[in-house]
Amino acid sequence: MSGTAKDSRPAFLPVSRADMEARGWSELDFLFVTGDAYVDHPSFAMALIGRLLERRGWRVGIAAQPDWRNREDFLVMGRPRLGVLVGAGNLDSMLGKLTAGRKARRTDAYSPGGAAGRRPDRATIVYCQKIREIWGDIPLIIGGVEASLRRFAHYDYWSDSLRRSILIDSQADLLVYGMGELQIAEIARLLDEGYPAEAIREVRGTCCVAGGTEHLEAFVELPSWEDLDPGAPSGTPEKARRAFAAMFRAIAPEQDPIRGKPLVQRYGAGGQGARGKFLVQLPPARPLSEAEMDELYELPYTREWHPMYDAAGGVPALSEVKWSVTGHRGCFGSCAFCAIHAHQGRIVQARSHDSVLREIGLLTRMKGFKGYIHDIGGPTANFRRPACPDQLRRGACKHRECLFPEPCGRLDTSHADFLALLRKARAVKGVKKVFVRSGLRYDYLMADGERGREFLTELCRHHVSGQLKVAPEHASAAVLRVMRKGDIGLYRKFAGLYRKINEKLGMRQYLVPYFMTSHPGAGLAEAVELAQFAAELGFCPEQAQDFIPTPGSLSTCMYYTGTDPFTGEAVTVVRGDRERRMQRALLQHRMPKNHALAREALLKAGRKDLIGRGAGKLIP
């Protein structure tokens, strides 16, 4: 099917019956329902998946931020022939709505004009309920970050409770976890060949609800919902926490496309909406090849928000990515608080240099381009290759990390490929400057020795826009161990090297560290340690990042259970809003508005010695 207008420029995917008629369509094959405004750019899920299905020959329409309180927005383009795809958007809908203090956010970058309130709470579930109300048993597939990270029973910070798998609560037929392109294309093919949705049970990277496990040759059984539910007849909060830790410990090593086993979680028979007894997760989808990555990111995107948002001023989130290029996906950093490795995987998948350069060339010809590529990167800019050759043969290591507590001896630390790409990118005609803004792992860079120093020198000379942002996250050794991050001493060495290189180059460029407060492991004593480190740096962040326990991460497991699931050791957890505010005030102690709360925190921590004037004091 053609996805371009008569003048050969890309056309937006249909959002109305008029759009369908303009293409000569009487019906859709798939309706994509999304909690985000429609932006036809590869950083937005509805565009990435929609364009891929279009390339494969299916007719796709977009229902962006439909009004869930009525049926009209869902019915505009009629009943789709093959099924409905549902995603909450680029963020979990609760994270997009509420802050760490559970207060409503004032803006939403993924909505027209940045307006808040354009999607419902738990958007995936609400959209699915409306679709079932309208079209009954139509094939219904959920995916995206919200579905992916809530695919098992999970702790929900917003309600401070455990919730069942989102697949069961949404009453969808299939859940696609991970980035989803391979899965969606295969599911579409099977549906088009006449397979009923309930018969699609062999697509890797998906979850389903089954009545038994006879179709599985080997699997790992997780603690059941009844084991996890503290409100079950034999349940207790302590029993539930132990079971949750055991569940996380069992899930983590199987999230590998090469050696992972199916996972099964039992739910009580007859539970509302269960339609079966077992949640079944098949092993992750294989990593995309370089050719597949190239094709995906070079589909005919308009790279604009839909014109229906012009009157509202557009969609703010586009400004963050419009002049940036995604070079790769996946992350082997495995920070405890981050779920990227659980969604994109630990095996890095990269585009070819030629593909990236073609995209840069396209950007230079777009209206509004001023000569600056804002970023070439991914989850971590300098992870452009798999951590080691073994990952592609045997999968990521089951019981060890690539960088924590020390870089693995088999880690491929070479920055040569990334450096070569940056050199080519800045030579593209029409490009004045190419920046790297998606963040660097300085521990990985430092592990590359003299080659890393060469890379950093060239980065400083050509690719830093006055500030380089890195994320040590904390200064306390105890907290960094819980975070699965390296010692703060390495940050000091990196900062010193960065300073020396810039001095040698005659450039005034600054290092901006990101820190996180209230992470598991951080009590007031550790918060004071972080504040002292920030004072040593002469640094006071305008905004402090509070830890938010989002579903799927190791840190969230520790927050809920109070223990490290792999060691059984107790972990300090801050739950009250007052202490959270104290930790934030300590980090931002230079701000006069925070003095009273920081003083209270210091007194509570027994650190009266840090109050006063003079060297080493934090507040007057």
pLDDT number for residue 8: 58
Helix (H, G, I), strand (E, B), or coil: what is residue 62? strand
For residue 549, is it within any domain? no
pLDDT number for residue 378: 93
Task: Please report, for the chain, how many H helices and E strands are present, in that order.
Answer: 24, 20
pLDDT at 3 over 90: no
Encoded amino acid at 345, one letter: G
Helix (H, G, I), strand (E, B), or coil: what is residue 328? strand
d(C-alpha 275, C-alpha 269), whole Å: 8
d(C-alpha 185, C-alpha 191), whole Å: 10
For residue 380, is it within any domain? yes
pLDDT number for residue 277: 86
Same domain, 141 and 238: no
Same domain, 197 and 267: no
Same domain, 360 and 406: yes
**Summary mean pLDDT of the chain:** 94
Same domain, 55 and 110: yes
| Phi, psi values for residue 509, rounded to 5° | -130, 145
pLDDT number for residue 540: 87
What are the angstrom distances between the C-alpha of 358 and each of 223, 426, 459?
A: 49, 13, 22
For residue 261, is it within any domain? yes
Same domain, 172 and 259: no
Torsion sign across C-alpha atoms 490, 495, 496, 502: positive
pLDDT tens digits, 225-259: 999 999 888 889 999 999 999 999 999 999 999 99
Helix (H, G, I), strand (E, B), or coil: what is residue 400? coil
Encoded amino acid at 169, one letter: D
State the pLDDT confidence band at 410, using cuts at 50, 70 and 90: very high
Same domain, 269 and 330: no
Rg (CA), the chain: 25
State the pLDDT confidence band at 6, using cuts at 50, 70 and 90: very low
State the pLDDT confidence band at 398, using cuts at 50, 70 and 90: confident
pLDDT at 5 over 60: no
State the pLDDT confidence band at 392, using cuts at 50, 70 and 90: confident
pLDDT tens digits, 36-66: 999 999 999 999 999 999 999 999 999 999 9
pLDDT at 2 over 70: no
Alpha helices in 365-412 (DSSP H): 389-394
For residue 125, is it within any domain? yes
Query: pTM for the complete prediction?
Result: 0.94
Same domain, 243 and 257: yes
> In the chain, how many domains are there?
3
Same domain, 266 and 379: no
Of 62-66, 229-233, 443-447, 611-615, which gets the smallest average pLDDT? 229-233
What are the angstrom distances between the C-alpha of 409 and each of 11, 138, 400, 401, 413?
A: 49, 51, 12, 11, 10
pLDDT tens digits, 451-464: 999 999 999 999 99
Domain membership of residue 58 as a residue range: 1-202
Percent of the chain with pLDDT over 70: 97
Of 423, 428, 409, 450, the closest CA to residue 361 belongs to 428
Same domain, 60 and 181: yes
Same domain, 169 and 273: no
pLDDT number for residue 214: 87
State the pLDDT confidence band at 271, using cuts at 50, 70 and 90: very low
Of 151, 152, 153, the closest CA to residue 228 belongs to 153
Same domain, 5 and 145: yes
What are the angstrom distances between the C-alpha of 143 and each of 151, 468, 617?
A: 10, 34, 50
For residue 548, is it within any domain? no
Length in residues, the chain:
620
Tokens of 13: 């995917």
pLDDT tens digits, 77-119: 999 999 999 999 999 999 999 999 999 999 999 999 999 999 9
For residue 507, is it within any domain? no
For residue 86, is it within any domain? yes
Q: Which of 154, 172, 202 is the last residue of a domain?
A: 202
* In the block, residue with structure tokens 């429609």: 38
Average pLDDT over residues 8-14: 85
Residue 350 in contact with residue 412, Cβ under 8 Å? no
Residue 601 in contact with residue 582, Cβ under 8 Å? yes
* In the block, residue with structure tokens 């809908």: 93
pLDDT number for residue 23: 96
State the pLDDT confidence band at 268, using cuts at 50, 70 and 90: confident
Torsion sign across C-alpha atoms 405, 409, 414, 418: negative
d(C-alpha 328, C-alpha 345), whole Å: 12
Q: Which of 186, 202, 218 is the last residue of a domain?
A: 202
Residue 108 CB contacts under 8 Å (≥ 6 apart), including other chains: 96, 97, 114, 115, 116, 117, 118, 119
State the pLDDT confidence band at 590, using cuts at 50, 70 and 90: very high
Residue 11 in contact with residue 58, Cβ under 8 Å? no
Would you report the helix, strand and coil content of the chain in percent, each value rounded to 5? 40, 15, 50
Straight-line distance from the first to the last Cα atom of the chain, in angstroms, rounded to the nearest whole number: 69
Q: Which of 202, 220, 248 is the last residue of a domain?
A: 202
pLDDT number for residue 9: 67
Of 284, 282, 363, the closest CA to residue 326 belongs to 363
Encoded amino acid at 483, one letter: M
pLDDT number for residue 413: 96
Same domain, 222 and 195: no
For residue 566, is it within any domain? no
* In the block, residue with structure tokens 């921590």: 605
Helix (H, G, I), strand (E, B), or coil: what is residue 249? helix
Give the CATH number, domain containing residue 417. 3.30.750.210
State the pLDDT confidence band at 389, using cuts at 50, 70 and 90: confident
